[in-house]
Amino acid sequence: MGPPQISPWLNSRRFVHFFPTASESKVILGDRGNRMLRFNIVDGFRYMDTLPCLHGVKEIPMVISVPPTDVHLPDGHQEDTGDLYIIDGLLHPDKAESALSSKFWHCDILPLPPWISHHEHAMVFGHALVGDSICFSICGAQGAGTYCFHIATREWSKAGDCLMPFHGKADYVPELGLWFGMSQDNLLCAADLSGLVRGEELSPDKMRIWQRDDLPEEWQPNSLRNPCVVSLGYGRFIIVDFLDFMKFNKEWNEMDAVKEFALFTGMELAFSNGKGKNGRTGASKDNGHHSSGTDCSGNESCNCGSEAGSNGGKGKGLMHGLRMIKHKSHRYMFKKQLRIEAVL
């Protein structure tokens, strides 16, 4: 039997899902047999232990990690890492099964939205932790809308008919008071979701989307892998694009993908005065030209320090003067047996 492979949703019992937690030293692993493991790093040592099994298979798992509070430490244990909420991107009636439990770790079956029945399935397109609620943009037989699961009461409510501008997970950056993620068009997006739970509509002046028009023409997005954004804190991000290097095929008279690679780009939020909200000076701009070459022969850095363009209105409040400064990029060429499948 071959080793397990990392994947967010492929239909195979060999695939393993990696779930980030509120702790930087802990990662949860789950397979399609509902088994759960915890990988932990303590004082330079690495170890794994088992966790209770999930109640059912997650076809397209989406994860929200809630940091620990006093309610998580009733017995004075300081090792608690909060709660991990896992929802399937394909919502359907839950088939409850027995699950293992222990004093410190247990799995609870949480209620699905009340309209999910045997005849009405739905897809989750975006999700974010907003205060003490988890918000989901859902499309199904009942139409599209944003719904909130309230952690304390374990009840659902409808926030509105509009969808969040994010595809996948949006991360909250407390230093900026904004949520960041990838848009439906796979572009970097920022939005103020603070009023979502109260039923406030997400108006255009509360969001911002940045265009990506700086890549060479022969670098085309991979149709099977969506880009992702990783927050480093204090308005700094890593954008990971999965791209194909295209080359003209004279025999077929069309462009063919000859290489696959991942492009890592450092980004930093800044305002019109050139400083981030934390007061640090933003990165210096350069001519914005790629210097990595196009021979596609190895892993190289490219000097892509130009300011990212904007695709929205001027905005008001926090969005006024909001811009992204691009730092250097580095590309990682995939090989037959070595490729990047997930970025946490």
- Based on DSSP, count helices (H) and strands (E) in the chain, helices before strands: 0, 22
Is 116 exposed, middle or buried, given 0-12, 13-18 or 19+ CB atoms closer than 10 A? buried
What is the Cα–Cα distance from 179 to 130, expressed in whole angstroms?
9
What is the Cα–Cα distance from 114 to 93, expressed in whole angstroms?
10
Give the count of beta carbons closer than 10 Å to the beta carbon of residue 232. 12
pLDDT tens-digit profile of 178-235? 999 999 899 999 999 999 988 888 888 899 998 888 889 899 998 888 898 988 888 8
* 215 or 294, higher pLDDT: 215
Domain ranges of the chain: 210-344
Bridge-based pairing of strands 36-42 and 178-182 is unpaired
* 215 or 113, higher pLDDT: 215
pLDDT surpassing 80 at residue 267:
yes
pLDDT tens-digit profile of 119-139? 567 888 899 999 999 999 988
Residue 147 contacts residue 157 (beta carbons within 8 Å): yes
Q: Which of 2-16, 101-115, 136-150, 330-344 has the lowest mean pLDDT?
A: 2-16
What is the Cα–Cα distance from 118 to 93, expressed in whole angstroms?
6
Over range 321-336, report the average pLDDT: 87
The predicted structure's pLDDT at residue 84: 76
The predicted structure's pLDDT at residue 106: 60
The predicted structure's pLDDT at residue 109: 76
pTM above 0.75, yes or no: no
What's the one-letter identity of residue 233? G
* 115 or 118, higher pLDDT: 115
